[in-house]
């Protein structure tokens, strides 16, 4: 903890220097970036790569910083980024200022995702980073998150406060892995500020959408399409030069678009799910810009799909919803329970799991109808148990993935030595990755069968010996946990044993670790512990005498 506060003090000194070097904010646009650096972002990202979700997010922000106009004032705040980050904290790494974007990049590179995703607290703190002096400035809080608030806090109070602000910063949110309730709540919050919520399939997709976002800041005509809850929707737009009554651009299936147009008079027409919305004609003068926000009024019904096999066991699959015209409307993530909000219509559902497809016709969603579908598929699931060990036979935390015959990822775990997965019968390829080492096996599993697959990875190993003592050398009985540089908790200690003053942890992969010891409610942390091949690293963690 002492080391952590030293780090914050040094960081504050660097930020103070940055303020002096950057000077006062004179930019037309102020952009505060709120980034998700919680422990969940240490999970692996795009299958087939070694990048974490935070790596993908960081690369996207790097591209954004490089593409932003030079006169944009930029700041950086993070949710998480420290094991001590709780539901009531976020961390300001760089205040709003022009110039020195390389320093922002340095801060991003120094972050190791850990702690809680306090999304509500982060948004509140990010809004507070703005000066509310000049109405003419374009102020935006850009929120980039891998999920909703992890603390279960409601946004109602913040929504009411923002509704009473005459000129709040625009809250623009790019989010992955939101459920329908989170999407509706965050969309409404963004809409109150004149912002929007855009749902992104994965962190690997963030780079393209953030670069497109920066292009909107450079162009003088910006167009956003949302539903009445502030959620971005993909529709069609037509841009008309009203002075000559001529179409100058048509775009299909976009949620945001921007372009540079000469001074003149314009109108934008948007179409989505049969609705047409027109802006009032507007004028763009020389040196000015305009944002056209097209809002479609959509009534949506909540609907829940629960999938099971023939024995009533949860069946994880993706569900594709197609409307009455046969157009794809929405595809869910891989799960056994799917909560969606869709316009009233007759839908066809395709349940997809690898090679397996089950089609359900005539599913009606609308007011007064059943808002759920419990469906038992004619499939008996099987069980795959994956165990990863080193050459000593000890559990080895690694990335585990299961692919079906077509190469579709059907289950994965970013950091574990054991994965229990329920899958339909068939042929699967099981892969385990640790650092640059990869091993795999192919297995066929029959209906109802339980199959254990053991994968061995040859990794260089060492040992850690941790002693808990008072300052005067007396034993302290407590618990020890070991984390890698990405904030992942290792499984290489006995979670069932009693407290002990001595912890001998064998067969730990070589690398740098952080050790956390807890005794009588007091926590002490020892960082930068290096484990070398074939060696024993000895660490003594001391607790103050006055506590014992």
**Every domain of the chain and the residues it spans:** 25-218, 222-298, 301-376, 382-456, 461-547
Q: Which residue has the higher pLDDT, 266 or 195?
A: 266
Percent of the chain with pLDDT over 90: 33
Measured distance CA(489)–CA(494) in Å, rounded? 13
- Residue 452 zone, left/alpha/beta (φ > 0; ψ -120 to 50; rest): beta
pLDDT tier at 522 (50, 70, 90 boundaries)?
Answer: confident
Could you tell me if 233 and 225 are in contact, meaning their C-beta atoms sit under 8 angstroms apart? yes
pLDDT in tens, 144-180: 999 888 888 888 888 888 888 888 889 999 998 887 7
CATH of 25-218, one of 3.90.79.10, 3.30.470.20, 3.40.50.2000, 3.40.50.410: 3.40.50.410
Please tell me the predicted confidence (pLDDT) of residue 547. Answer: 67
pLDDT tier at 492 (50, 70, 90 boundaries)?
Answer: low
Torsion angle in degrees (nearest 10) through CA of 225, 258, 291, 96: 110
Q: What is the average pLDDT across 443-453?
A: 92
For residue 362, pLDDT beyond 90: yes
Please tell me the predicted confidence (pLDDT) of residue 424. Answer: 85
pLDDT tier at 141 (50, 70, 90 boundaries)?
Answer: very high
443, β-bridge pairs: 428
Residue 403 DSSP SS3: strand
Residues in Cβ contact with 173 at an 8 Å cutoff, skipping those fewer than 6 apart: 143, 145, 186, 190, 195, 196, 197, 198
Phi, psi angles (nearest 5°) of residue 42: -80, -5
Do 25-218 and 222-298 come out as alike in CATH topology? no
Please tell me the predicted confidence (pLDDT) of residue 359. Answer: 94
In order of 51, 403, 414, 433, the CA distances from 48 in angstroms are 9, 11, 12, 10
Please tell me the predicted confidence (pLDDT) of residue 305. Answer: 95
For residue 376, pLDDT beyond 70: yes
Q: What is the mean pLDDT of the chain?
A: 84
Q: Which residue has the higher pLDDT, 485 or 443?
A: 443
- Range in 23-27, 116-120, 361-365, 457-461 the model is least confident about: 23-27
Q: What is the average pLDDT across 482-496?
A: 69
Measured distance CA(22)–CA(33) in Å, rounded? 17
Max distance between CA atoms of the chain, in angstroms, equals: 88
CATH topology of domain 461-547: Immunoglobulin-like (2.60.40)
Convert 489-531 into a string of H (helix), E (strand) and C (coil): ECCCCCCCCCCECEEEEEEEECEEEEEEEEECCEEEEEEEEEE
pLDDT in tens, 6-50: 333 333 343 343 333 334 444 468 999 999 999 989 888 877 677
76, β-bridge pairs: 33, 94
Nearest to 427 by CA among 480, 355, 491: 355
- Range in 92-96, 460-464, 467-471, 491-495 the model is least confident about: 491-495
CATH topology of domain 382-456: Immunoglobulin-like (2.60.40)
Please tell me the predicted confidence (pLDDT) of residue 5. Answer: 34
Q: What is the average pLDDT across 493-522?
A: 80
Secondary structure E strands in 366-456: 372-376, 382-389, 398-403, 409-416, 418-423, 426-434, 437-445, 450-456
CATH topology of domain 222-298: Immunoglobulin-like (2.60.40)
pLDDT in tens, 49-74: 778 899 999 999 999 998 888 888 99
pLDDT in tens, 409-419: 888 888 888 89
Reported CATH class of domain 301-376? mainly beta
Residue 482 DSSP SS3: strand
Please tell me the predicted confidence (pLDDT) of residue 354. Answer: 65
Please tell me the predicted confidence (pLDDT) of residue 13. Answer: 40
pLDDT tier at 540 (50, 70, 90 boundaries)?
Answer: very high
Count other Cβ atoms within 10 Å, centred on residue 412: 18
Please tell me the predicted confidence (pLDDT) of residue 223. Answer: 92
pLDDT tier at 429 (50, 70, 90 boundaries)?
Answer: very high
Q: What is the average pLDDT across 270-290?
A: 88
Percent of the chain with pLDDT over 70: 91
Q: What is the average pLDDT across 211-237?
A: 86
Could you tell me if 524 and 541 are in contact, meaning their C-beta atoms sit under 8 angstroms apart? yes
How open is the CA angle 249-250-255, to the nearest 5 degrees? 115
How open is the CA angle 31-34-40, to the nearest 5 degrees? 160
For residue 270, pLDDT beyond 50: yes
């Amino acid at each position: 903890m002492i080391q952590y506060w030293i780090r914050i003090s040094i960081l504050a000194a660097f930020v103070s220097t940055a303020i002096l070097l950057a000077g006062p904010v004179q930019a037309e646009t102020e952009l505060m970036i709120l980034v998700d650096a919680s422990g969940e972002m240490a999970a692996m990202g795009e299958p087939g790569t070694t990048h974490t979700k935070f790596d993908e997010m960081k690369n996207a922000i790097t591209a954004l910083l490089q593409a932003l106009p030079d006169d944009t004032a930029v700041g950086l705040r993070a949710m998480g980024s420290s094991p001590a980050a709780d539901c009531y904290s976020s961390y300001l790494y760089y205040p709003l200022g022009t110039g020195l974007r390389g320093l922002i990049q340095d801060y991003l590179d120094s972050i190791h995702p850990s702690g809680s995703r306090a999304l509500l607290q982060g948004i509140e703190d990010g809004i507070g980073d703005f000066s509310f002096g000049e109405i003419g400035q374009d102020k935006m809080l850009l929120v980039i998150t891998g999920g909703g608030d992890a603390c279960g806090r409601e946004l109602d109070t913040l929504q009411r406060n923002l509704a009473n602000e005459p000129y709040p910063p625009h809250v623009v949110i790019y989010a992955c892995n939101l459920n329908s309730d989170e999407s509706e709540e965050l969309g409404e919050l963004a809409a109150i500020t004149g912002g929007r919520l855009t749902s992104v399939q994965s962190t690997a997709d963030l780079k393209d959408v953030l670069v497109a976002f920066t292009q909107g800041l450079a162009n003088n005509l910006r167009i956003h399409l949302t539903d009445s809850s502030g959620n971005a929707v993909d529709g069609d737009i037509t841009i008309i030069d009203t002075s000559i009554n001529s179409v100058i651009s048509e775009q299909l299936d976009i949620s945001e678009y921007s372009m540079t147009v000469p001074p003149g008079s314009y109108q934008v027409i948007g179409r989505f799910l049969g609705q047409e919305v027109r802006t009032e004609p507007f004028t763009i003068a020389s040196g000015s810009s305009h944002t056209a926000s097209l809002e479609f009024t959509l009534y949506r019904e909540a609907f829940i799909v629960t999938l099971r096999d023939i024995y009533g066991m949860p069946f994880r699959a993706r569900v594709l919803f197609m409307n009455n015209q046969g157009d794809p409307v929405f595809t869910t993530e891989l799960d056994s329970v799917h909560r969606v909000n869709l316009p009233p219509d007759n839908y066809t559902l395709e349940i997809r799991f690898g090679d397996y497809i089950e089609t359900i016709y005539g599913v009606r969603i609308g007011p007064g109808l059943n808002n759920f579908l419990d469906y038992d598929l004619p499939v008996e699931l099987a069980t795959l148990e994956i165990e990863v060990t080193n050459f000593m036979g000890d559990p080895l935390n690694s990335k585990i993935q299961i692919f079906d015959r077509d190469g579709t990822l059907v289950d994965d775990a970013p950091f574990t030595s054991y994965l229990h997965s329920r899958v339909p019968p068939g042929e699967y390829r099981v892969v385990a990755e640790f650092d640059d080492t990869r091993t795999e096996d192919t297995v066929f599993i029959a209906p109802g069968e339980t199959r254990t697959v053991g994968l061995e990875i040859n990794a260089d190993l060492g040992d850690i010996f941790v002693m808990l003592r008072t300052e005067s050398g007396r034993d302290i009985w407590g618990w020890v946990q070991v984390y890698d540089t990405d904030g992942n908790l290792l499984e290489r200690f006995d979670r069932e044993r009693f407290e002990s003053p001595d912890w001998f942890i064998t067969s730990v992969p070589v690398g740098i670790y952080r050790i956390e010891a807890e005794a009588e409610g007091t926590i002490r942390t020892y960082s930068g512990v290096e484990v070398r091949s074939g060696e024993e690293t000895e660490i003594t963690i001391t607790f103050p005498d006055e506590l014992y």
